[in-house]
């Protein structure tokens, strides 16, 4: 409970007591104990504090009364309508349900005109915010009233309206279920073909349902899954169009307009811009998203991490470093060790780009949870550690790490978990060790490797947000020509080897919105 809710509850507990506020009731004593306690306390301790002795039956009755009064207190208007306590949708939903209850009371007393007014206002609000369950309940109650007082034609009119919103409810519920199945990724884990097929079927049905119902909730899930599908295909320009439509939808329609929801859409838009190599735009979008998110929430931290990437890839390493340090201070959850380790690695990459190689070594020497990720992040740590040794002219140390990497990568290769680019990088490093760290000679002898690393081929190309935060082939070239390495990310191009499936996404490409800003 918030401090404001605690104050209201205290007043509620004493308001009906004839003995007044000066009487320290057992309910108030219980409330004071619960509010002041910062740790777990046992039932026996609470019982003794309130009664001063064992009083099991009385204590049980007290807990039941306390719980019931707490629920009643939370439903008071002063709590429900408090600014910032609940979303606009929740406050209107509460009002709708209250009006339905009041209208039923008036019907029972024969006050049909007042009841109809309440039903109509509840139906209007329910339609605006797509509270379909409440809207259908109102229409059913109106049908009962119409049968008694307004005749057959009015009854049939309401019945037709009922069928219309019944279809809306079914469409919104189906979209909600498909969205959660697909985003949760529990049903299709390890079965990518089934996932892709179900995703396309869901999008196709949602598009049809949206055209038939006009439901903003259906459109919300439709645009979200469209964007996810395009991102899976690496068609990030198309994904951006879907996300732009999603953001416009959330801003415009009351049924889906929730500040934190718009914030989450903007985070997705910023993240998508990273893959489009629009880093400044990603930073700007993050700055718009963050005020909409709850302070200290997981989503706020994800927004900050996305903003970090935007600054890092733009070469603003001081800004990137400050964001990471703030994030590392916030990683205090017990289950955040992997996330903390990843951000520690990102900090090491940032320090590397700032030339602080000793600090990089110290960070990489610490135990890092992401080393358990035997694929991408573990390989990333190994390669960064080798590169850092080479920057410090610790060739012997680098050689030992290259040999250790060989054994590790061989296991990954046997398990078919090694990306072709990582294999090419390792082969370059091994040749560098064999040629006594003559960068120019290796660059000439493995020209084909470097051509592949520069290519846009899906298996060989460098990728944004991958563990390879320092573009290896560009860093290597800087050593060949003996200049300070300044990272410049390549221009975005859609990867080769990716083909839009026939009768797939092309059937639901969003309308052209290039250049639109929201």
Q: What is the C-alpha to C-alpha distance for residues 211 and 207, in angstroms, rounded to an integer? A: 6
Band (pLDDT 50/70/90 cuts) for residue 231 is: very high
Residue 187 has pLDDT above 50, yes or no: no
* Strands (E) located in 366-510: none
User: Has this prediction a pTM greater than 0.85?
Assistant: no
DSSP 3-state helix, strand, coil percentages of the chain (rounded to 5)?
70, 0, 30
pLDDT on residue 328:
92
Answer yes or no: is 402 within a domain.
Answer: yes
What is the rounded average pLDDT of the residues 356-370?
89
Lowest mean pLDDT among 86-95, 270-279, 335-344, 408-417: 408-417
Would you give the distance in Å from CA 217 to the centre of its chain?
Answer: 18
37 and 136 co-located in one domain:
no
Answer yes or no: is 412 within a domain.
Answer: yes
496, β-bridge pairs: 457
Residue 41 has pLDDT above 70, yes or no: yes
31 and 103 co-located in one domain:
no
The alpha-helical segments, DSSP class H, found in 130-215 are 132-149, 152-184, 192-213
Answer yes or no: is 227 within a domain.
Answer: no
Lowest mean pLDDT among 128-142, 288-302, 394-408: 394-408
Q: Pick the last residue of a domain from 80, 105, 121.
A: 80
Query: pLDDT tens-digit profile of 470-503?
Result: 999 999 999 999 999 999 998 888 755 554 443 3
What percent of the chain is modeled with pLDDT above 90?
Answer: 59
Band (pLDDT 50/70/90 cuts) for residue 18 is: low
Residues 6 or more apart in contact with residue 134 via CB below 8 angstroms = 93, 96, 97, 100, 122, 126
Query: pLDDT tens-digit profile of 393-448?
Result: 999 999 999 988 887 777 766 655 678 899 999 999 999 999 999 999 999 999 99
Q: What is the C-alpha to C-alpha distance for residues 271 and 465, in angstroms, rounded to an integer? A: 9
Residue 370 has pLDDT above 80, yes or no: no
Q: Pick the last residue of a domain from 32, 52, 80.
A: 80
Band (pLDDT 50/70/90 cuts) for residue 290 is: very high
Band (pLDDT 50/70/90 cuts) for residue 515 is: very low
405 and 469 co-located in one domain:
yes
Residue 335 has pLDDT above 90, yes or no: no
**Residues 497 and 458 sit within 8 Å (Cβ to Cβ):** yes
76 and 104 co-located in one domain:
no
pLDDT on residue 510:
35
Answer yes or no: is 131 within a domain.
Answer: yes
Answer yes or no: is 303 within a domain.
Answer: no
pLDDT on residue 56:
78
117 and 66 co-located in one domain:
no
pLDDT on residue 430:
94
137 and 96 co-located in one domain:
yes
pLDDT on residue 311:
98
What is the rounded average pLDDT of the residues 144-160?
87
441 and 462 co-located in one domain:
yes
Whose structure tokens read 């084909």?
Answer: 448
Q: What is the C-alpha to C-alpha distance for residues 378 and 419, in angstroms, rounded to an integer? A: 13
| Higher-pLDDT residue of 518, 435 | 435
406 and 385 co-located in one domain:
yes
Residue 341 has pLDDT above 50, yes or no: yes
| Higher-pLDDT residue of 37, 467 | 467
**Residues 498 and 457 sit within 8 Å (Cβ to Cβ):** no
pLDDT on residue 185:
60
What is the rounded average pLDDT of the residues 52-62?
81
pLDDT on residue 512:
35
Count how many domains the chain has: 3
Q: Pick the last residue of a domain from 53, 80, 107.
A: 80
Answer yes or no: is 362 within a domain.
Answer: no
Answer yes or no: is 404 within a domain.
Answer: yes
Domain that holds residue 380: 375-486
14 and 99 co-located in one domain:
no
Lowest mean pLDDT among 15-29, 150-164, 406-420, 452-466: 15-29
Q: What is the C-alpha to C-alpha distance for residues 161 and 146, in angstroms, rounded to an integer? A: 13
Q: How far apart are the first and last CA of the chain?
A: 36
**Residues 314 and 503 sit within 8 Å (Cβ to Cβ):** no
Residue 46 has pLDDT above 50, yes or no: yes
Band (pLDDT 50/70/90 cuts) for residue 225 is: very high
Return mean pLDDT, the chain.
Answer: 86
Lowest mean pLDDT among 98-107, 340-349, 489-498: 489-498
pLDDT on residue 16:
62
């Amino acid at each position: 409970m918030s401090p404001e809710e605690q104050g209201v509850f205290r007043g509620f507990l004493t308001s009906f007591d004839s003995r007044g506020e000066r009487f320290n009731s057992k309910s108030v004593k219980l409330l004071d104990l619960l509010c002041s306690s910062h740790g777990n306390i046992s039932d026996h301790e609470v019982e003794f504090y309130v009664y001063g002795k064992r009083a099991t039956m009385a204590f049980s009755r007290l807990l039941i009364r306390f719980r019931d009064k707490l629920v009643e207190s939370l439903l008071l208007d002063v709590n429900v309508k408090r600014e910032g306590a609940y979303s606009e949708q929740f406050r209107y939903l509460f009002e709708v349900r209250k009006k339905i209850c009041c209208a039923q009371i008036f019907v029972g007393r024969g006050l049909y005109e007042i009841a109809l007014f309440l039903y109509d206002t509840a139906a209007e609000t329910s339609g605006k915010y797509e509270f379909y369950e409440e809207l259908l309940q109102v229409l059913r109650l109106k049908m009962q009233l119409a049968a008694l007082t307004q005749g057959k034609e009015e009854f049939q009119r309401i019945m037709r309206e009922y069928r219309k919103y019944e279809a809306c409810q079914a469409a919104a519920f189906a979209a909600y279920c498909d969205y959660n199945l697909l985003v949760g990724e529990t049903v299709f884990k390890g079965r990518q073909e089934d996932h892709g097929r179900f995703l396309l079927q869901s999008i196709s049905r949602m598009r049809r349902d949206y055209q038939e119902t006009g439901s903003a909730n259906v459109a919300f899930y439709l645009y979200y899954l469209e964007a996810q599908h395009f991102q899976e295909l690496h068609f990030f320009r198309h994904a951006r169009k879907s996300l732009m439509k999603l953001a416009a939808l959330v801003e415009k329609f009351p049924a889906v307009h929730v500040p934190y929801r718009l914030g989450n859409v903007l985070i997705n838009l910023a993240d998508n811009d990273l893959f489009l190599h629009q880093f400044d735009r990603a930073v700007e979008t993050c700055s718009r998203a963050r005020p909409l998110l709850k302070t200290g929430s997981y989503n706020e931290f994800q927004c900050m991490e996305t903003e970090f990437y935007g600054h890092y890839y733009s070469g603003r390493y001081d800004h990137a470093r400050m964001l990471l340090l703030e994030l590392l201070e916030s990683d205090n959850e017990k289950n955040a060790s992997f996330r903390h380790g990843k951000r520690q690695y990102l900090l090491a990459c940032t320090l590397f780009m700032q030339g602080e190689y000793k600090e990089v070594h110290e960070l990489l020497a610490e135990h890092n949870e992401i080393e358990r990720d035997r694929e991408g992040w573990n390989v990333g740590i190994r390669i960064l550690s080798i590169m850092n040794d080479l920057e410090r002219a610790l060739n012997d140390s680098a050689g030992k790490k290259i040999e250790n990497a060989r054994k590790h990568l061989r296991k990954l290769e046997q398990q078919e978990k090694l990306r072709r680019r990582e294999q090419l990088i390792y082969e370059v490093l091994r040749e560098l060790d064999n040629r006594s760290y003559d960068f120019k000679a290796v660059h000439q002898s493995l020209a084909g490797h470097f051509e592949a690393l520069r290519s846009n081929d899906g298996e060989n190309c460098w990728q944004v947000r991958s563990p390879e935060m320092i573009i290896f082939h560009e860093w290597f070239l800087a050593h060949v020509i003996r200049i300070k390495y300044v990272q410049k990310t390549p221009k975005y191009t859609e990867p080769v080897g990716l083909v839009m499936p026939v009768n797939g996404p092309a059937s639901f490409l969003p309308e052209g919105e290039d250049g639109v800003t929201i």
